[in-house]
């Protein structure tokens, strides 16, 4: 009976359970027996589904329950809209669903729900299969306004790289938002975003170079055979220094892995590619991983050392 009461997202609202003939005692018994978990006040899902879900999937379940509860009086926005649109989640707080009120109600926070009261102009909201959601340009800026600088730049970079927005669109929308709360640092974040990064790790690498006073590298540099045929592309390069850099993140390897290819085959193919690029250029290759980004001074010194070696 319980499974049949869930909606297409695997969610059961208390109000729907009551409408189907259940009562609070039924829900309490299901909770005590471990059959369901409370997503937030008045919303439930199967325990097995919740515990097997990633943090992003749990956030999507939370948001789905909130959107179902409030209907068209709200639009999914900020971090929640970014998650729904596929944006990066590194450094973002996923513990609460974010919605923007469309019915003029004041901003307020409730259990696991943050209500925002921003002005929504034509083009700021759109619809998906569930209901209203802020459009990508507005989503990117709203999310960046709540995040620390690095995650904020990573979000803007991703939306630009994905082709969901453009710099002119971001600047026009920001001009209408710059006097709103939480947007004081957004102008600087917008200046730092360039849309060339293909991952959060690449965004963080670029920002590390800037903070440490290193020369700003050329992103996504293509390297060619003498015949002119493309040999490969590197995440960053300093051509005048004869140094190139690749950021090795798990996400990147999933992106590069070909259908039917094993991890070992993909790693060997990447090694052959690196060997070829070094042979063609004579440059030094630097590879960074996530841990290197948390040691900016050490990583900066390593890059400077490679500059000296390649000179």
- In tens, the pLDDT along 155-191 reads 999 999 999 999 999 999 999 887 777 788 899 999 9
pLDDT of residue 167: 97
pLDDT of residue 269: 79
Number of Cβ within 10 Å of residue 249's Cβ equals 20
pLDDT band at 118 (very low <50, low <70, confident <90, very high): confident
Distances (CA, A) of 283 to 159, 233, 239, 301, 310: 32, 14, 8, 18, 7
pLDDT of residue 249: 59
Domains of the chain by residue range: 3-52, 70-192, 200-310
Whole-number average pLDDT of the chain: 92
pLDDT at 107 over 60: no
Answer yes or no: are the C-beta atoms of 221 and 233 closer than 8 Å.
Answer: yes
Residues listed for the chain: 311
Q: For the domain covering 200-310, report its CATH number.
A: 3.40.960
What's the average model confidence in pLDDT over 235-253?
85
Which tokens is 167 given?
Answer: 């710099």
What's the average model confidence in pLDDT over 188-210?
96
Query: Which among 108, 125, 184 has a CA at the least distance from the CA of 149?
Result: 184
For the entire predicted model, the pTM comes to 0.90
pLDDT at 250 over 60: no
What's the average model confidence in pLDDT over 2-24?
92
pLDDT band at 4 (very low <50, low <70, confident <90, very high): confident
What's the average model confidence in pLDDT over 31-51?
95
Separation between Cα atoms, residue 223 and residue 170, nearest integer Å: 32
Taking phi over 0 as left and psi of -120 to 50 as alpha, with beta for the rest, 228 belongs to left
pLDDT band at 294 (very low <50, low <70, confident <90, very high): very high
pLDDT at 265 over 80: no
pLDDT at 257 over 90: no
Element (H, E) at 38: strand 36-40
């Amino acid at each position: 009976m319980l499974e049949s009461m869930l909606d297409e997202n695997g969610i059961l609202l208390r109000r729907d359970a009551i409408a189907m003939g259940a009562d609070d005692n039924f829900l309490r018994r299901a909770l005590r027996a471990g059959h369901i978990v409370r997503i937030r006040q008045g919303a439930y899902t199967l325990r097995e589904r919740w515990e097997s879900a990633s943090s992003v999937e749990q956030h999507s379940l939370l948001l789905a329950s909130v959107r179902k509860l409030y209907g068209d009086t709200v639009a999914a926005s900020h971090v929640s809209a970014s998650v729904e649109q596929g944006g990066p989640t590194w450094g973002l707080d996923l513990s609460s669903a974010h919605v923007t009120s469309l019915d003029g109600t004041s901003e307020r926070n409730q259990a696991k729900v943050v209500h925002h009261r921003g002005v929504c102009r034509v083009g700021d909201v759109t619809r998906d299969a569930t209901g209203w959601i802020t459009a990508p340009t507005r989503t990117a800026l709203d999310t960046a306004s709540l995040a620390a600088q690095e995650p904020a730049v990573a979000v803007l970079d991703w939306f630009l790289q994905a082709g969901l927005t453009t710099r002119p669109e971001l600047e026009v929308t920001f001009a209408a938002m710059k006097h709103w709360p939480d947007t004081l640092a957004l102008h600087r974040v917008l200046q730092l975003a360039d849309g060339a990064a293909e991952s959060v790790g690449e965004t963080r690498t670029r920002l590390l170079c800037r903070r440490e006073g290193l020369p700003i590298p050329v992103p996504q540099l293509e390297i060619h055979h003498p015949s002119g045929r493309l040999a490969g592309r590197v995440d960053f390069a300093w051509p005048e220094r004869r140094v190139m850099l690749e950021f090795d993140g798990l996400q990147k390897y999933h992106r590069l892995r070909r259908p039917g290819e094993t991890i070992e085959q993909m790693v060997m193919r990447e090694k052959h590619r690196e060997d070829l690029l070094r042979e063609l250029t004579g440059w030094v290759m630097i590879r960074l991983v996530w841990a290197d980004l948390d040691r900016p001074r050490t990583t900066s010194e390593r890059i400077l050392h490679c500059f000296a070696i390649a000179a």
